[in-house]
Chain A
Amino acid sequence: MAFSMMLRRPVCSGPIMQQVMRLATQPAVKPNLTQNTIQSLKSTLLKTETTPIMNSVRSFRTSAVRFAEGKSGDHSKLWVVERVASAALLPLIPLALIAPSKILDSALAIIMVAHSFWGLEAIAVDYVRASIFGPVIPKIAIGLVYLVSIATLGGLFYIITHDVGLANSIRQFWSIKAGQKA
């Protein structure tokens, strides 16, 4: 979902759409008139600048509520996968640590990186918002999340294939004896 967000342009960024939004949030405009008012928007643009009541509350974009109905993706399947991954980690971590093996290490690496990726993606989507940071930085943030996750997965697989493996690396913490020189 975040990847498609990175590529997708905002639906309602034009000045006409913003004016529709502003007029649509005014209680005075009846909903069945909004179609006709799109044509007359250009003429009324100047008028709305001067009426103080209309400007006393700042207008803002309510794009997804009205206009992005058909374009919204299906996140529900991914949500289930995220919960399954979290549930799978619960037995997998102790199991992989108790019985170190390449298969369990690989499964652990993949599911852990996926879990962290979805968590970091949610953080970036929640906090790095276009309304504060502008149009470019949120996409960079999501890109960084992808980068960090891919790098982590690569690093973990390197440890599994060319080094002792994940579970054994953690176990090495306990193999340090007191008084041992590093």
Chain B
Amino acid sequence: MQRSFRLFSFINSNRDKVCEILNKPYSGHKAAPTVSKKPVDPRRIFKVYRFGGIASKEKPQVMNYDLDISTCGRMVLDALIKLKDMDPTLVFRRSCREGICGSCAINLQGSNCLACITAIPPDKTINIYPIPHMYVIRDLVVDMTHFFEVYNNLRPYLVRRDAGPLGKFQYAQSIQDNAKLVGLYECVLCACCSTACPSYWWNGRRFYGPASLLHAYRWIVDSRDEDTEQRLFELRDDFRAFRCHTILNCTLACPKGLHPGFVIAKLKRLIAGLDKKPPPEIDTMKFSSSGS
């Protein structure tokens, strides 16, 4: 159990180390420079992808907007809202403004991120595009239908052998079993990882993508779920999980600091039978008689 705790703190704190290892500067998460050469001019140019939709017959184009970022908040979403004040036809999704709903996924300076929790980078020109290789409905809004359809298909809920009366008592779970879900339940389905994966670009119709595979693993590894065999059986074909070639763009992109690449590796071992899901540490039906 100690190992699993260490593993999870490794996962959550290791994003920058992954970037170092892969030798790629991740511009969406630059730390504040300790020695700044000179303060960067707050007047920036925002290059935003604009598209009227396939019904409008226009070609997509990139529009330039001049914005003084000292007049708006620090985050890219604040800048986008200011841009919408300037040009009300600009369209983007947003809801919680705190990185928990997953609505505002965009491609910023070439990397996917959530606009509401990503600071405006210290560059003169800021490129904002919709998340890559998705059908664009309008401007920065993409069609997430297939993404959510795949997620729903993997039955993202507890399945027990005898579905007794629901809600009468809680299913008992040990603290260590619950800790296994750390790094899995925080996924907000923003699609930053899946749309950063080249395998998902080329085979998004049949490959589940890192987000759904992370959730598949989350339900498989939950000690309260009893349908492990069927869940793993459904993932065994050549396309659903095994189109992952460990490119690891997903881990680089995740705005919540999760590690889908690592989780998919563990999922592949479970599907192949190299690893077995351990039985629950305490009896899941412990509270069935007392009723709490």
Contacts and interface: CB of A to CB of B under 8 A. Distances in A.
A125 to B, nearest CB: 8
A61 B205 contact: yes
A144 to B, nearest CB: 19
A90 interface: no
Interface stretch (A64-72, A93-101, A145-153, A167-175): A64-72
B203 interface: yes
Contacts of B203: 126, 129
B135 A52 contact: no
Given A62-B146, A69-B234, A79 B202 contact: no
Main secondary structure of the interface of B (DSSP, over half): loop
Interface in A72-100: 72-77, 79-80
B243 to A, nearest CB: 7
Given A64-B206, A65-B149, A58 B238 contact: no
B53 interface: yes
A133 interface: no
A65 B206 contact: yes
Interface in B172-222: 199, 202-203, 205-206
Contact of B137 (A55, A57, A73, A125): A57
A79 B149 CA distance: 26
Nearest to B145: A25
A25 B149 contact: yes
Interface in A17-66: 25, 27, 52, 55-58, 60-66
Contacts of B239: 64, 72
A173 B53 CA distance: 60
Interface residues of A, number: 30
A56 B137 contact: yes
Given A56-B55, A58-B54, A65 B268 contact: no
B143 interface: yes
A25 B152 CA distance: 12
A131 to B, nearest CB: 8
A10 to B, nearest CB: 11
A116 to B, nearest CB: 15
B149 A126 contact: no
Contacts of B243: 126
A56 B56 CA distance: 9
A75 B232 CA distance: 12
B145 A57 contact: yes
21 contacts: A25-B145, A25-B146, A27-B145, A52-B55, A56-B55, A56-B137, A57-B137, A58-B54, A58-B135, A63-B205, A64-B237, A64-B240, A65-B205, A69-B234, A72-B237, A72-B240, A73-B236, A74-B236, A77-B272, A126-B202, A126-B245
Interface of B: 53-55, 135, 137, 143, 145-146, 149-150, 153, 199, 202-203, 205-206, 234, 236-240, 242-243, 245, 268, 271-274
